[in-house]
Amino acid sequence: MAESIVVHIEDVAFAYNGLPVLSDVSLRIVEKDFAWIVGPNGGGKTTLLKLMIGLLQPQRGQVRLLGQRPKDVRSQVGYMPQHASLDPQFPVTVLDVVLMGRLTNFRPLGRIARQDRERAEAALGEVGIAERGREQFSHLSGGQQRRVLIARAMASDPKLLLLDEPTANLDLRVEQELFELLQRLNERLTIVMVSHDPAFVSPFVKSVVCVKRHVHVHPTAEIDSEIMSELYGRPIRMVRHDQHFDREDD
């Protein structure tokens, strides 16, 4: 086998209270891929990600991660939920957040093994904020908080990272830095990322998964205005930020 398949979704359908969100979804993501899940709001991007991680069960079809059922390989998958769902005032230190990535159902007296702490600190170093472990999570800037959440996902030494809108509400510079971090991580693990914003900014993305009830996968080079207008149901124009009009009239 030349490339091993990390995410294998076959003929999956999912509906919320009878309302179909995804149907006839088949999808393969290979090792070391950097897959970007894009599509309009309500199109089923987050649902697809939650099906992958096993937070939702498909009504039809099957989902396999690393060849097994999602809940059997949880320790090999790092997950980052949407940042907006977190309480910004929660009293917790950065290191404690990362340690959650190594938590199991029962560990007597809440003790942390030295190995857990070392791994958590290494993960913080990897995302570039090693020195901030003792600070309160909510005192960090938005971009740094995302780094902490990526470190938490990395703390269990996963083979696959699933990220739900990791760059939402960040300014462009911070977003760019975060992408550079993800690109570094992508050298050794597979990344699947949901984004509401299908801008063409990231050259690191290797394949794009377009979700609007149905799923189409494209290698990044292939994306053109025809695919975009099909996805959004109306013609869309790309904004070329590198070109400018010289305004002469009015």
Q: Which residues bind other proteins (CB under 8 A)?
A: 53-55, 71, 74-75, 77, 79-81, 85-93, 96-97, 99-101, 103-110, 112, 134-136, 138-141, 152, 156
Smallest gap from residue 48 Cβ to other proteins (A): 15
Q: Which is nearer to other proteins, 110 or 203 (CB)?
A: 110
| Beta carbons within 10 angstroms of residue 95's beta carbon | 20
Smallest gap from residue 132 Cβ to other proteins (A): 10
Kindly give, in sequence order, each residue whose CB lies less than 8 Å from that of residue 104, ignoring residues fewer than 6 positions away: none
Q: Which is nearer to other proteins, 146 or 212 (CB)?
A: 146
**C-alpha span between 1 and 186 (Å, rounded):** 21
**C-alpha span between 151 and 54 (Å, rounded):** 21
Q: Which is nearer to other proteins, 29 or 53 (CB)?
A: 53
Smallest gap from residue 215 Cβ to other proteins (A): 22
Pairing of strands 5-16, 19-30: antiparallel
Q: Which is nearer to other proteins, 9 or 228 (CB)?
A: 9
Q: Which is nearer to other proteins, 84 or 199 (CB)?
A: 84
Smallest gap from residue 16 Cβ to other proteins (A): 13
Smallest gap from residue 73 Cβ to other proteins (A): 11
Pairing of strands 160-164, 214-219: unpaired
Kindly give, in sequence order, each residue whose CB lies less than 8 Å from that of residue 66, ignoring residues fewer than 6 positions away: 6, 73, 76, 77, 159, 160
Q: Are 141 and 172 in contact (CB under 8 A)?
A: no
**C-alpha span between 125 and 119 (Å, rounded):** 10
State which H helix or E strand residue 176 sits in: helix 172-186
Smallest gap from residue 151 Cβ to other proteins (A): 13
Smallest gap from residue 70 Cβ to other proteins (A): 9
What is the strand order of the sheet 214-219 is part of? 77-80, 160-164, 190-194, 34-38, 207-212, 214-219
Secondary structure letter of residue 93 according to DSSP: B
Kindly give, in sequence order, each residue whose CB lies less than 8 Å from that of residue 86, ignoring residues fewer than 6 positions away: none
Q: Which is nearer to other proteins, 74 or 216 (CB)?
A: 74
Block residue for tokens 């901030």:
132
